[in-house]
Structure 1
């Protein structure tokens, strides 16, 4: 069985009135190549007439954002002309590539009525050859994402990218990144074979798992060694898992603010290009 190198507890980092846990990067882990960053917002209940999510217009270059809307919604808009409101169970995949400006706020309906909110945003690196690719955005609602049922229906999930068992994911991606969200009933069990050269991304959103004999609780990220293919996951309670794996890029990573490149010179260029308006213009 594949062994666990370390379990990392998410750090509590609220953003205004938004409950936020950050599993990565923290003081104990910088990244799990090519997975760069994860923020877990909520769960919480917003009252009527709220201000919604606080993520107004900001730029990105050199990476991708994958946003999982577990509860609530996100109104997306970017300088490439893409607009959408993705609701509970939906997923957004944005390839920043050469650069764009986007905003992620709550819909007018959510701000007026309030409601439950829980959202995860994962940043995935792009290899050097794709860092300056044309930006892209896709937002899929829950019913557009392939569903999967395992262990006689005791595990239900969504295959977001790549493959899980024989189910292909919703998004076509530049790199071979496999991502899924999985809901386990207590006692449900899943055995997987993951290529040993792939890095595993294993974040417990809710509940508790036993993974290859090790307990991993909610708001914890398990970092694995690359020493075996076998993974045995058993839920000790009703649980939700964000699960991924990918072959590492093994390239230099320089991240400053919203930009992720391979050198400091490229970061400086990104800031210059943004200030010069080369990542698009923002209009309300």
Structure 2
């Protein structure tokens, strides 16, 4: 079985009144190539007449954002002309590529009525050859994302990208990035084979797992060695997992703020292009 290198605890980093845990990067881990960053917002309940999510217009270049709406909703808008409201169970995939501005806020309905909110946002790197690709956005609601059932229905989930146990994911991606969210009943088990040359992203959203003989609790990220293919996962309670894997790019990574490139010169260029309007203009 594949061995665990280290288990990392998410750091608590609230953003205004938004509960936020950050499993990566932290003081103990910078990235799991090509996975760059994860923020876990919530779970929490917003009252009626709230301000909603605080993520107003901001730029990105050189990476992709994958946003899992576990509860609540997100109203997306970007300088490429894309607009959507994705509700609980849905996923957004935005390829920033050469650069764009976007905002991720709550819908007017959510701000007026309030409700439960829980969201994950994962940043996935783009390889050098695709960093300046044309920006793209796709948002899928819950019923547009393929589902999977394992262990006689005790494990259910969504296949977001790549494939899992023969089920193809909803999103077509530049690189072979495999992502799924999996819900386990207590004592449910799965055995998965993941290519040895792929890095694994294993984040426990809630509950507790025993994976390859080690305990991994909620709000913890397991970092694995690349020494075997087999994962044996057992839920010790009702639990939810974000599972990803991909072949690492093994390229230099220079990240500053919302930009992820390969050199500092490219970062400087990204800031200059943003400031001169080359990433698009924001229209209310």
Q: Give TM-score, length-normalised by structure 2.
A: 1.00
How far the C-alpha of 1:81 sits from its partner, in A, is 0.1
Query: Could you say what secondary structure the match of 1:266 adopts?
Result: helix
Partner residue in 2 for 1:216:
216
1:172 and 2:146 aligned = no
Partner residue in 1 for 2:185:
185
Determine the C-alpha separation between the residues in 2 that align with 1:81 and 1:46: 29
Unaligned runs of 5+ in 1: none
Partner residue in 2 for 1:111:
111
Partner residue in 2 for 1:57:
57
Determine the C-alpha separation between the residues in 2 that align with 1:40 and 1:209: 18
| Deviation digits for residues 160-189 of structure 1 (CA, Å, limit 9, x no counterpart) | 000000000000000000000000000000
1:161 and 2:161 aligned = yes
Partner residue in 1 for 2:145:
145
Determine the C-alpha separation between the residues in 1 that align with 2:103 and 2:230: 40
The residue correspondences of 1:196-215 to structure 2 (distance < 5 A) are 196-215=196-215
How far the C-alpha of 1:32 sits from its partner, in A, is 0.1
1:264 and 2:264 aligned = yes
Q: Give TM-score, length-normalised by structure 1.
A: 1.00
Determine the C-alpha separation between the residues in 2 that align with 1:194 and 1:82: 35
The residue correspondences of 1:225-244 to structure 2 (distance < 5 A) are 225-244=225-244
**Structure 1 consecutive aligned stretches of length 4 or more whose deviation exceeds 6 Å:** none
Determine the C-alpha separation between the residues in 2 that align with 1:274 and 1:54: 21
Partner residue in 2 for 1:281:
281
Determine the C-alpha separation between the residues in 1 that align with 2:274 and 2:261: 14
Determine the C-alpha separation between the residues in 2 that align with 1:101 and 1:4: 38
How far the C-alpha of 1:111 sits from its partner, in A, is 0.1
| Deviation digits for residues 14-57 of structure 1 (CA, Å, limit 9, x no counterpart) | 00000000000000000000000000000000000000000000
Determine the C-alpha separation between the residues in 2 that align with 1:117 and 1:133: 32
Partner residue in 1 for 2:94:
94
Query: Could you say what secondary structure the match of 1:271 adopts?
Result: helix
Question: Superposition RMSD on alpha carbons, in Å?
Answer: 0.2
Query: Could you say what secondary structure the match of 1:195 adopts?
Result: coil
Partner residue in 2 for 1:129:
129
| Deviation digits for residues 232-284 of structure 1 (CA, Å, limit 9, x no counterpart) | 00000000000000000000000000000000000000000000100000011
1:38 and 2:33 aligned = no
